[in-house]
A and B are shown apart, each in its own frame.
Chain A
Amino acid sequence: MGGAGKDAGGEAVPLRVLAAWVPDWPVITVLGAEPEPDLPVVVVERGRVLAASGAARRGGVRQGQKVRSAQSLVAGLAVHERHIDAEAKLFEPVADAVSLLAARLEVVRPGLLALPAAGAARYHGGEHVLAEKVVDAVEAVGHECRIGIADGLFAAQLAARAGRIVPPGESARFLAPIPVSELAGTKLTDLLGRLGIVTIGRFAGLPAGSVADRFGQAGVVAHRLARGAEGRPVVARPPGVELTVEQRFDPPFTVVEPLVFAARVLAERLHAGLAGAGLACGRVEIEVECADGTGASRAWRHEGLLSVGAVAERVRWQLQAWQQRQLFEEASGGVVALRLVPDGLVHDPGRQLSLADGDQEATERIERAVARVQAILGHTAPVTVELAGGRAPADRVVRTPWGDAHQERRADGPWPGRLPAPSPTRVPASPVPVRLLDAEGLEVEITARAEARSAPARLVLRTGAVEVTGWAGPWPEQERWWDVDEARRTARIQVTVADGRALLLAVTGGRWHLEGDYDT
């Protein structure tokens, strides 16, 4: 959120923030506001569960699960691909309804919005009253939401999950028992996990100086949040520097597409201006002005994490949502100006886009090239990669669309049954069924003691059978393998075959799959 005050120690005290969260927004988007309560539904993104309906959750489906495992848990599970444009469009009426209660509302992402609570609470007669009014406003447009109020957006977001109002000054205590993975990216969580620091409270207890030495700038920001402080202190706009970027249109536009194109150029200018001033912005306000003098604006969370493409995408969402409201109808005369207004400025000594540092020119070139790829294949096609926790090779790689902030994924180990390097050079998106036979031609079985009942001799692939020349394992995935239901337990073996190739095979419920190829 916008600003922060200073306490006696000079530490920035975050402003009171109200976060309103509509749970399972991706599910609501695909099903409508009042779905059949017993319908097991998941919304997936890149093969993993992003959100699940209540019925699916009761069946054991969890966020981050592979679609295949979710399907094996719940019979008749309906699987929908995520539709992020629709999520944003459908959320606009919610944001609109709440914006009547408080100025300076911002959309953190579709399904979650935030507003500075102090002024609004005074006006409405207290934080509890404000919270109730927001709940009512959201209910009036047909959705249920949970409210959290705390010091700063980070604590407020977590408070919303619990539906709590955390009193002023209590945020650090509220955050203390929460796992550190909620706070930090995978890399930092992993690092802290190895030091035995698993809760935000433990992390907050580390001396600030040593955090800076050990974990760098990202660690410092996370540490400040952990202590209930503002991530980065908000600064005033440097005098004489115009950071707002604007594009005027003559004749006015009545359709969205050319505006989206202009938005990309504007976003590039916005980022160049900020970077030139050594700043990043906490939020970016999208404003349109119509020929008849009317207009609309909406603020989106930025945090210095959005790339040019990601800002342009948010502009597109917003314009599509406004189009629904007939903003571009003939009566308004069309859009004459599009503006991006950065707000909540913070110093950003490094690059504000987390993707790269160093050579500015190289970074601009790659941004442009990737933007062209996104224009050809869509925003999510080019991805960046980060390693995460997990056992199977496919689990240990997190792909994130270029320009989006890396999702936080649990990296806490240890991971028994994880195979050491080298890893397969090809990991099929979904495991390929194979048959692994012994010398007698019978399927190789893995016993309850996690041993192979017979030695593998032949591997039957789709392309034909090959002779197994060597094998190693099995490595059971579960620590207490013998305790695990036979249908669920997974073990892996490595085999080498006659043409010199090595393959990674996994067996679950007695069925073998090819999970990786070391020599494609």
Chain B
Amino acid sequence: MFDSGGMEASLAALAPQLRLSRPGQLVPVLPALEGLLPERGLRPGAVVSVTGGGTALLLALAAAASTAGTWCAVVGVEGLGLLAAAELGVDLSRLVVVEDAGDQWARVATALADGVGLLLLRPGGRVSGRTAEQLATVARRGGCALVVSGEWPGARVRLRVAARSWEGVGQGRGRLRARRLVVEAGGRGAAARERRYELWLPDGQGAVRAVGPSAAGTAGTAGAPGTAGAAGAVRRHKADPARGPLAVV
């Protein structure tokens, strides 16, 4: 005795849950960061690892999602500069922070992965393959994307801050205004091809912006990570949205 109208109604009521677990749903990132990710967004259940001192990049990856109303969580990042998070565009009213999870970090991360849309995690210890798998399973089911600060077994996308330099500071003059990051992106599958990007994070106006593609031929720093940060090495590339793979904010 099926009342088809009733069934339709209950299906409609289920729609939000269905949407959450649908594999096609990506967690959005700022347009300037889309080029770092093979799918131009964060895939629930997949891990993006950020290494090389990229807390600013980690935070910026949560900007678009939190502003769109997605709940985000940060676990295990002690002394996190939350003011910097707000400046990079993270909506703090959509953020839950667990700074010190100690040796319970994996349990805490797994609990949150079942409730938020984006989890930023700094593991509090060695990550076993089993822990990584469990977390990924829960995250996939819960529709939660994972961005990990540090190495992670089986990360789908690996982002490494290879070099950085600051603008605005002289010898006793000015102030910190803009940071330029060289980010190397690699990983598995579609992300396997190594790529290099240069980002303003932030630029002089506080925005996250692509500097432009840094092909090996044009950037003198490409082969020698670490030298781009030396004083005076920053070149003023013009961001060109038409040519570059990265959109301009």
Contact = CB atoms under 8 A, between A and B. Distances in A.
Are A and B part of the same complex? yes
Interface in A192-235: none
Interface in B10-68: 16-17, 53, 55-56, 59
A481 interface: no
A359 interface: yes
B108 A500 contact: no
Contacts of A356: 71, 93-94
A520 interface: yes
A499 B226 contact: yes
Interface string B161-192: 00111101111111111010000000000000
Chain B's interface size range is: 35 or more
Given A393-B81, A428-B79, A516-B81, A496 B179 contact: no
A459 B17 CA distance: 54
Interface of A: 355-356, 358-359, 361-362, 365-370, 372-373, 376-377, 381-387, 393, 396-397, 399, 402, 419-429, 452, 455, 469-473, 494-496, 498-502, 516, 518-520
A452 B104 CA distance: 46
B92 A386 contact: yes
Given A419-B175, A422-B84, A366 B115 contact: yes
B78 interface: yes
B101 interface: yes
B226 A402 contact: no
Nearest to A474: B172
B97 interface: yes
Contact of B92 (A368, A387, A469, A499): A387
B135 interface: no
Nearest to B87: A421
Contacts of A366: 71, 96, 115-116
B115 A368 contact: yes
User: Binding site of A, secondary structure by majority: helix, strand, loop or mixed?
Assistant: mixed
The 9 closest A-B pairs by CB, nearest first: A500-B229, A369-B115, A372-B111, A425-B55, A470-B169, A423-B83, A500-B164, A425-B81, A423-B84
A383 B96 contact: yes
Contacts of B174: 472
22 contacts: A356-B71, A365-B114, A366-B116, A369-B113, A372-B114, A376-B104, A377-B102, A381-B98, A383-B97, A384-B95, A385-B82, A387-B83, A387-B86, A393-B84, A423-B87, A425-B55, A425-B81, A470-B166, A494-B169, A498-B230, A501-B53, A519-B56
A518 B116 CA distance: 27
Given A377-B108, A385-B92, A424-B84, A455 B202 contact: no
Most A Cβ at <10 Å: residue of B73, B79, B179? B79
A518 B176 contact: yes
B64 to A, nearest CB: 16
Nearest to B117: A362
A494 B176 contact: yes
B172 A452 contact: yes
Contacts of A473: 172, 175
A499 B229 contact: yes
Contact of A370 (B82, B96, B113, B166): B96
A373 B166 CA distance: 38
A516 B82 CA distance: 12
A455 B79 contact: no
A373 B73 CA distance: 12
B182 to A, nearest CB: 10
User: Binding site of B, secondary structure by majority: helix, strand, loop or mixed?
Assistant: mixed
B163 A500 contact: yes
Interface of B: 16-17, 53, 55-56, 59, 69-71, 73, 78-87, 92-102, 104, 107-108, 111-117, 142, 163-166, 168-177, 179, 202, 206, 226, 228-231
Contact of A429 (B59, B79, B114, B117): B79
A370 B115 contact: yes
B83 A361 contact: no
A334 to B, nearest CB: 32
B98 A373 contact: yes
A421 B177 CA distance: 8
A470 B231 contact: yes
A518 B164 CA distance: 11
Contact of B111 (A369, A385, A386, A399): A369
A423 B172 CA distance: 19
Nearest to A494: B176
B171 A421 contact: no
Nearest to B109: A373
B169 A471 contact: yes
Contact of B17 (A361, A382, A383, A427): A361
Contact of A422 (B98, B113, B206): B206
A382 B176 contact: no
Given A356-B94, A518-B176, A496 B169 contact: yes
B206 A421 contact: yes
B59 A373 contact: no
Given A383-B97, A500-B229, A519-B53, A472 B176 contact: yes
Contacts of A372: 111, 114
Contacts of B71: 356, 362, 365-366
A373 B84 contact: no
